[in-house]
Amino acid sequence: MQARRILSLIVIVFAGSFVVVRGIVPAVTVIQTDFPNYYTAGVIARTGSSAERLYDDAWFQQKMYDQGISQQGKFSPFPPATAVLFVPLSLLQPLDALRVLTALNALFLAGSIVLFSRLFCIPLSESTALILLSGWGLVNGFRFGQLYIALSFCMLAALYAQRQGLQAASGVAIGSLLPIKYFSLVLLLDATLKQRWRTVFWAMLVSGAIVATSIAVLGWEPHHQWLMSVLGDHLQGNLSQQDPYASTFQSLHSLLRRMFVFDAARNPQPLVHSAMLYSLLLYTIILICIVPGVVATVRLLRRDAATETTLAVLCTLALLLAPATATYHFVLLWLPVGILLRHYVDNGERMLTLLTLCVFAAIGFLPYSWFDRFDGRGIVTIAAYPRLLLLAVLYLLSVRAAHTPRLN
């Protein structure tokens, strides 16, 4: 135990310093990508300025310039309710607004550490060390003014409330960010599969109220645009003003597009130029990934209707199949990794415990720039996607846990 405490303190010092220096300090000194999009949308929602043009990139860019922000931006692919959420922050100057959001993210981080400790029965020092192993996920969550730290807190809070028998509170935690960051659908699906109807009801009620408020503030048109075009493009990995071939996204969509879809400017030398092969392989691999997850989930629910391992399976599967993941998305691994570590520790499977921990840390700290040299080099392009491969390993560990009864 003494060795674990010392190791935890070492991780806290080094990983904590990394997060502060690379993430928090920049967030309170300079505005960078992503946050200006949220802030400008908040201004548009507050002033009622032609909200139906939220997804008009050129118009939105001009609105950003009007706020004194000179960098390139757009609102796509964010859901319209995002704009309403940022209305209070839009009352401040952009940098002051980012500072407030940074302080809120720090509070959500602290709350997540406490919840993680209580959920998985480990000391606060170990909980802090584990969450700080998110590395670049935390850094860019702070630096870019993202909402994923808050979302991960809500996920942990939902599970904690569920354990306390507070189904309504669990539903509120799930629904509070569901219309804004729809990864929460994973928790809603889990609650539905387990027939926790009170949780489902409250999640739908809260998210429905948020959507209704968004429609009242912005009107129906931006919601219609998001449903009919923006969402579909996002699910296909087609993002305006961004390179769909970029390995930055570390997704199956990006990898297979790089290997099989020709583009004179962005991808002049694919392995094989065949749009049909791209689609065939993409949906075949998605199916191959989904099947073991479904089998594992069904098996778990038949064995133990209250099992939490289903959340590990569903969360890692959702991230594995996501069309455009960035580093800050991987703070969403706190919940599934906590469940996996608890499972393997209780079962006395030290090697799998260590493997889970190492994969999580690698996702957080691996220097991805080392792998850029492989991008666009035929079959070797796969080596440019280490985060995607690591996530696949984490998903397999989740499926493995689903087929192993918890012993303690």
pLDDT tens per residue across span 3-36:
788 999 999 999 999 999 999 999 999 998 889 9
Residues 148-168 as b or e (16 or more Cβ within 10 Å = b)? bbbbbbbbbbbbbbbeeebbe
**pLDDT of amino acid 407:** 63
Neighbours of 3 (CB within 10 A): 7
**Two structure tokens written together for 223:** 């919601």
Among residues 231, 251, 247, which one has the least CA distance to residue 239? 231
The mean pLDDT value for 92-103 works out to: 96
Q: Are 342 and 121 in contact (CB under 8 A)?
A: yes
Neighbours of 236 (CB within 10 A): 14
Q: Are 297 and 402 in contact (CB under 8 A)?
A: yes
Average pLDDT, the chain: 93
Beta partners for residue 263, in sequence order: 267
Confidence of residue 233 (pLDDT cuts 50, 70, 90): confident
Q: Measure the CA–CA gap between 75 and 40, rounded to whole angstroms.
A: 9
The mean pLDDT value for 375-394 works out to: 91
26-30, 245-249, 334-338: range with lowest mean pLDDT? 245-249
The mean pLDDT value for 54-83 works out to: 92
**pLDDT of amino acid 246:** 83
For the chain, percent of residues with pLDDT exceeding 70: 99
**pLDDT of amino acid 405:** 77
**pLDDT of amino acid 234:** 83
For the stretch 345-380, pLDDT in tens is 999 999 999 999 999 999 999 988 889 888 888 888
Confidence of residue 189 (pLDDT cuts 50, 70, 90): very high
| Residue 374: C-alpha distances to residues 250, 255, 323, 381 (Å) | 13, 12, 21, 5
**pLDDT of amino acid 76:** 86
- Asked whether the predicted pLDDT for residue 1 surpasses 90, the reply is no
> What is the torsion angle, in degrees rounded to the nearest 10, for the CA atoms of residue 181, residue 115, residue 335 and residue 371?
80
Q: Which backbone phi and psi does 267 adopt, to 5 degrees?
A: -150, 70
> Does residue 263 sit in helix, strand or coil?
strand
The mean pLDDT value for 106-130 works out to: 97
The mean pLDDT value for 195-206 works out to: 97
**pLDDT of amino acid 72:** 87
The mean pLDDT value for 176-198 works out to: 95
Q: Measure the CA–CA gap between 156 and 330, rounded to whole angstroms.
A: 14
**pLDDT of amino acid 183:** 94
The mean pLDDT value for 369-396 works out to: 91
Cα angle 288-253-368, degrees, rounded to a multiple of 5? 105
Q: Are 342 and 311 in contact (CB under 8 A)?
A: no
For the stretch 289-301, pLDDT in tens is 999 999 999 999 9
> Does residue 369 sit in helix, strand or coil?
helix
The mean pLDDT value for 181-200 works out to: 96
> Does residue 56 sit in helix, strand or coil?
coil
